[in-house]
Amino acid sequence: MKLLEGLKWRYATKKFDNTKKISDSDLEKIKEAIQFSASSYGLQLYKVLIVEDKAVREKLKPAAWGQGQITDASHLFIFCNYSDVNRDGIDEFIHLKAKTQGIDSEALKPYGDFIESKWNDKTAEEKSNWTAKQTYIALGNLLAACGELEIDSCPMEGFEAEQIDEILGLKEKGLTAAVLATVGYRAAEDETAMQEKVRKSKEMLFETI
């Protein structure tokens, strides 16, 4: 199972080789893995920013606690969740579903109504938490895809979201930074790569009921 091989190979890369870049073809594979991630109701209530511009990444670095991966990795992915969604956003998904699956959009209206009712039951904080959680599913696919491609990656929660949002003007777009991922190739001097992976045993982790 190649997926397992990739998961065992990968680790949270602490130091990237800033001279190495991901090929366009591999980048497209990573993007497709994110694109086909599962999401609640299929809504995909997030946007993924891929930051290549070095100047922008230098601006973002202090907001990410000065971590070197931000500027040294080949690419920086910023998973951003929509802080609120109105009926237009739900209808956009319904129309896309109807077009993709060859269904009359009117026949899907009750499904749209159901989604809207569940959405409206949530508080503003619950809505934000819910959409942010969806980005982590997509992040998991990025990590798995990178592992299979033997491309290094590092998920990152160590950042100030409000600062990231301000630098990139995300609030004006109804977005907020939920989680980051740096992707590229490990530096030879990254000692973390040599460390044995620490994971709980299956006996500790799983319980059959």
- Cα–Cα separations (whole angstroms), residue 150 to 16, 22, 33, 93, 122: 14, 11, 15, 34, 40
CB atoms within 10 A of CB 15: 19
* Residue 153 DSSP symbol: E
pLDDT tens-digit series, residues 40-76: 999 999 999 999 999 999 999 999 999 999 999 999 9
The C-alpha atoms of residue 205 and residue 203 are separated, in whole angstroms, by 6
Q: Report, in angstroms and rounded to the nearest whole number, the Rg of the chain calculated over CA atoms.
A: 19
Q: Which domains does the chain have, with CATH numbers?
A: 2-84+126-205 (3.40.109.10)
pLDDT tens digits for range 22-35: 999 999 999 999 99
Does the model's pTM come out above 0.75? yes
- H helix count then E strand count, the chain: 9, 4
Q: How many CB atoms within 10 Å of residue 170? A: 20
For residue 69, the number of C-alpha atoms closer than 13 Å in the C-beta half-sphere is 24
Q: What is the DSSP letter of 15?
A: S
Residues of the chain with pLDDT under 70: none
Find out whether 113 and 82 touch, Cβ atoms under 8 Å: no
What is residue 40's predicted lDDT score, i.e. its pLDDT?
A: 93
Largest interatomic CA distance in the chain: 59
